[in-house]
Structures are given as structure tokens and as C-alpha cells.
Structure 1
Amino acid sequence: MTTRNWLRPAWLLNRRVGIALLWLLVVAGISAVVNVTGIHVLGSIDGWERWLRAHAAHFFIWRLLLYAATAYGWWWMRGRLRQREPSREAHQRLLRVEIAAVITIVLLEGSQLLRHG
């Protein structure tokens, strides 16, 4: 193994991984800019936190809309996947992923409710 090959792992050169990393950086950058702008506009971190608490219901509705759009997209994709792979194993994999996703969302929203209840 040469030094050049060691420094360039094959998975990093994968186009899908590169696009996913780019989206991750874009989302993280946008969230940082929004937070810094909010702190600057409201004058302090405490003011920004008060504003976020005051608008928590709006953010909850926004998250519900995102969950609904994601569920609709999942339902559409699930139908196509079931047609392509009608086996019982594929159905079981989908079911496990769906259960894990629902549990994750319930835990995330439950932790928000307990934190800000």
C-alpha cells in the first residue's frame, strides 16, 4: 500500500458520500448563520433563547409538517420498493426501518416535551 492510496480512502471519492457531506455542511452552515443572526438581532443569547421558547409551538407545527412530508415520501418510495423487491425479507427490513424511525421521532419529540414541558 502506497502512501498516496492510504491518504485517499475509496469511500471518500464516492459521489454519493461527497454529496451527502456537502449537504451536511450546507445545513450546518445555515443553522449557524441563523443562530448568529438571531443572537445579533435580539441582542443577546438570553434574548434569542426567550424568542425560541416563545415560538416553540410554531417550530413544533413546522416539525409535524416535515414529518408528514417525509412520511408521504416514504410511503411513495415504499410502494415502489415493494414492487421491485416483493420478498418477505425486504418487507421485514422495511418494517424494522419504519419502527426504528417512529421510535426515534417519538423519543426526540418526547425529550423536547420533557425539556420544555
Structure 2
Amino acid sequence: MTARTWLRPAWLLSRRVGIVLLWILVAAGIFVVVSVAGIHVIGSVDGWEHWLRAHATHFLVWRLLLYGATAYGWWWMRGRLRQREPSGEAHQRLLRVEIAAVITIVLLEGSQLLRHA
């Protein structure tokens, strides 16, 4: 995209952007509903926070399973992409995305670890 394309609001109104924004809103709504329901069931915000801390290991296992499933899907997609685009440039792009993803996951999990330490 050129700088001029970013200045036009037409890309904001595209179908793809609308679908992504809708999914983000749905996910945020689900998170809010689960948190409010958890607070209501537990009885207080402090109780909810205590419950979350007590079950942090379960959430870590859940995140690790999600990371594993995502890595498997990425490996499958990567193979297909490498067959379709065998150039060195495509390989470099994939490598940059993979490095960025691993750094992001390490930083996120590190921040969780530091918060609970």
C-alpha cells in the first residue's frame, strides 16, 4: 500500500477490515461476559482475582496447547507456501514473521511470569 492509499478511508470500509473488526468485537465481548460472569459467580472482584491466580497453571497449560496447535498449523501452512513460492525472498519473509512471533510469545509469557513472581 502506498502512503496515499492509507490516507483514503476506503480501505477502512472494505469487507475484510469489517470482518476482522467484527471478530475483534465478538472476542472482546466474550471476554467481558466471561469476566463479569466469573465475578458474579465468585462474589467479588478480589475473589475473582484470587481464583485466577490459583488457576494460573491451568491457564499456562491451555496457552501452551494453543501455541502447539498454532505452531502445527503454521508448519503445515509454511510447507504449502514454500511449495507455491520457493524463492529466497519468500523464505526471508517467513523467517522474519517466525522470529517476530517467537519473540512476541516469549515477551508475553515473560511478562506473565514476572507479574506472578
TM-score with structure 1 length normalisation? 0.91
- Give 1:35's aligned residue: 35
- How many residue pairs get matched? 110
Identity %: 85
CA distance in 2, matches of 1:76, 1:19: 25
CA distance in 2, matches of 1:86, 1:74: 17
Query: Map of 1:30-109 to 2, 5 A cutoff?
Result: 30-109=30-109
Q: Which letter maps to 2:47?
A: G
> Structure 1: which 4+ aligned runs deviate by more than 3 Å?
none
Bigger mean CA deviation after superposition, 82-91 or 10-19: 10-19
Q: Which letter maps to 1:97?
A: V
CA distance in 2, matches of 1:115, 1:77: 34
Q: Which letter maps to 1:105?
A: I
Residue deviations 1:42-61 (CA, integer Å, cap 9, x gap): 11100000000000000000
TM-score with structure 2 length normalisation? 0.91
Per the TM alignment, residue 11 of structure 1 is displaced from its structure 2 partner at its CA by 1.1
Residue deviations 1:52-100 (CA, integer Å, cap 9, x gap): 0000000000000100010011011101111111110110010010001
Per the TM alignment, residue 17 of structure 1 is displaced from its structure 2 partner at its CA by 0.8
Residue deviations 1:26-47 (CA, integer Å, cap 9, x gap): 0000000000111111111000
Task: Tell me the C-alpha RMSD between the 2 structures.
Answer: 1.1
Per the TM alignment, residue 10 of structure 1 is displaced from its structure 2 partner at its CA by 1.2
Per the TM alignment, residue 18 of structure 1 is displaced from its structure 2 partner at its CA by 1.0
Per the TM alignment, residue 13 of structure 1 is displaced from its structure 2 partner at its CA by 2.4
CA distance in 2, matches of 1:103, 1:50: 29
CA distance in 2, matches of 1:99, 1:16: 26
CA distance in 1, matches of 2:83, 2:22: 32
Bigger relative contact order (CA 8 A; separation at least 6): 1
